[in-house]
């Protein structure tokens, strides 16, 4: 997210929310038909991990048998898209249903700041170039999954009168963003949460 989206998210949020957990990404589906939540799910296909990430996926799949890494990637992409669109539109109602209060407040403040200047953000997520799990860790009952999203986006910031302040509607920007999702495996709640937005430099 360029312009205000990532100016606020990667600068404002990263600096203040690095250690805050709890963005509800709304990963809720019909548990009976979703392989991610099926008690029959297994990880037999991951028999001999060839690298450290595959080993971690296999380990997590053993302790949380509902986990399917391919299905998780698709859900993470959907969460990214929902949050992107809601923030660009200033849709606090949607964001409030996706974020815990302490993170929602930061997004809300950024939207309020934009609105106070009567600026309009036109953000479009064109496509996901690549989305992948880059790390997994376990701490107690909590699983942390780090995702890297490479996307093409178009973002234009306009004044109330329609004057373009930043960006170009004809320009597609390539973005790379790192988000960390987490889940308490002992919880009956099927949802995953966005725990952290990482600086690419870290």
Instruction: Determine the average pLDDT of the residues in 142-160.
Output: 94
Fill in the DSSP letter of residue 193.
E
Identify the pLDDT of residue 16. Answer: 42
Residue 175: which pLDDT band, with cuts at 50, 70 and 90?
very high
Please give the Cα distance from 124 to 118 (Å, whole number). Answer: 20
Residue 130 phi, psi (nearest 5): -160, 140
**Average pLDDT score over residue span 62-85:** 92
| pLDDT category of residue 41 using cuts at 50, 70 and 90 | very low
CA–CA distance, 9 with 64 (Å, rounded to integer): 31
Q: With bands split at pLDDT 50, 70 and 90, how would you rate the model's confidence at 188?
A: confident
Q: What is the pTM of this model?
A: 0.71
pLDDT range class, residue 100, cuts 50, 70, 90:
low
Among candidates 76, 103, 101, which has minimal Cα distance to 9? 103
Segment 76-100 mean pLDDT: 87
What is the arithmetic mean of pLDDT over 151-177?
A: 91
* pLDDT above 70 as % of the chain: 74
Task: Give the chain's domains with CATH numbers.
Answer: 3-198 (3.10.450.240)
Share the mean pLDDT of the chain: 77
Alpha-carbon radius of gyration of the chain = 18
| Mean pLDDT of all residues in 72-82 | 93
Give the closest residue to 90 by CA, choosing from 65, 70, 118, 66: 118
Average pLDDT of the residues in 43-60: 70
Give strand pairing partners of 136.
Answer: 145
């Amino acid at each position: 997210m360029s312009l205000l989206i990532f100016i606020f998210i990667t600068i404002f949020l990263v600096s203040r929310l690095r250690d805050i957990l709890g963005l509800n990404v709304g990963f809720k589906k019909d548990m009976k038909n979703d392989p991610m939540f099926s008690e029959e799910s297994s990880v037999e296909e991951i028999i001999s991990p060839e690298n450290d990430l595959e080993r971690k996926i296999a380990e997590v799949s053993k302790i949380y048998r509902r986990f399917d890494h391919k299905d998780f990637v698709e859900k993470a992409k959907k969460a990214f898209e929902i949050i992107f669109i809601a923030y660009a539109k200033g849709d606090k109602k949607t964001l409030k249903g996706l974020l815990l209060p302490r993170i929602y407040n930061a997004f809300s403040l950024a939207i309020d700041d934009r609105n106070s200047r009567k600026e309009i953000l036109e953000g479009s997520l064109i496509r996901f170039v690549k989305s992948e799990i880059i790390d997994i860790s376990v701490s107690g009952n909590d699983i942390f999954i780090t995702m890297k999203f490479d996307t093409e986006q178009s973002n234009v910031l306009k004044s109330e009168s329609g004057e373009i302040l930043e960006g170009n509607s004809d320009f597609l920007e390539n973005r790379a963003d790192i988000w960390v999702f987490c889940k308490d495996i002992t919880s009956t709640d099927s949802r995953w949460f966005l725990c952290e937005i990482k600086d690419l430099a870290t």
